[in-house]
């Protein structure tokens, strides 16, 4: 902390009031891997709690909308779209969650997309932990970001 400038030593929201309102879009993903036995149970029986992927989808959408309440210093945003999708990888016994978030605003929606996939994966974990407590959530990553002064980012 000694080497930081005085302004940087205190937490605070970034002032975005002078930024232009543009369409902001972000896409993020993460992967949950489970045992072969648990994956087969997921495919065949699901969870005693109900529909795993539909519940995870709703949880991801709710998380994107609540990001500013979860992560300090994130601006509250009026989201235009949150889309959550899942891809099943039968070979790896994995579920990849992808979130696309869109808004018209002065700041990006990367944190909303990353929060959405994280919470969706945590929901899958919660609903399937009865079958496998060794599940791994990994590769939480931003895939795309567009809008704003910094331009477009695409993970290669």
CA–CA distances in Å: residue 110 to residues 23, 26, 97, 106? 13, 5, 15, 13
Rounded distance, CA 95 to CA 53, Å? 10
Angle between helices 110-128 and 52-65 (to 10 degrees): 150
**Pair type for strands 153-154 and 79-89:** unpaired
| Choice among 51, 89, 126, 132 that is catalytic | 126
Q: Is 154 assigned a catalytic role? A: no
Residues annotated as part of the active site: 126
């Amino acid at each position: 902390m000694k080497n930081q400038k005085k302004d940087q030593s205190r937490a605070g929201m970034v002032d975005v009031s002078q930024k232009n309102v543009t369409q902001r879009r972000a896409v993020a993903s993460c992967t949950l891997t489970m045992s072969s036995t648990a994956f087969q149970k997921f495919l065949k029986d699901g969870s005693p709690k109900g529909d795993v992927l539909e519940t995870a989808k709703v949880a991801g959408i709710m998380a994107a909308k609540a990001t500013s309440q979860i992560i300090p210093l994130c601006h509250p945003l009026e989201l235009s779209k949150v889309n959550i999708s899942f891809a099943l990888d039968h070979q790896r016994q994995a579920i990849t969650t992808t979130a696309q978030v869109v808004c018209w605003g002065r700041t990006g929606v990367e944190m909303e997309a990353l929060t959405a996939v994280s919470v969706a994966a945590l929901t899958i974990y919660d609903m399937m932990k009865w079958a496998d407590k060794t599940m791994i959530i990994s590769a939480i990553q931003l895939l795309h970001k567009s809008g704003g002064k910094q331009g477009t980012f695409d993970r290669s």
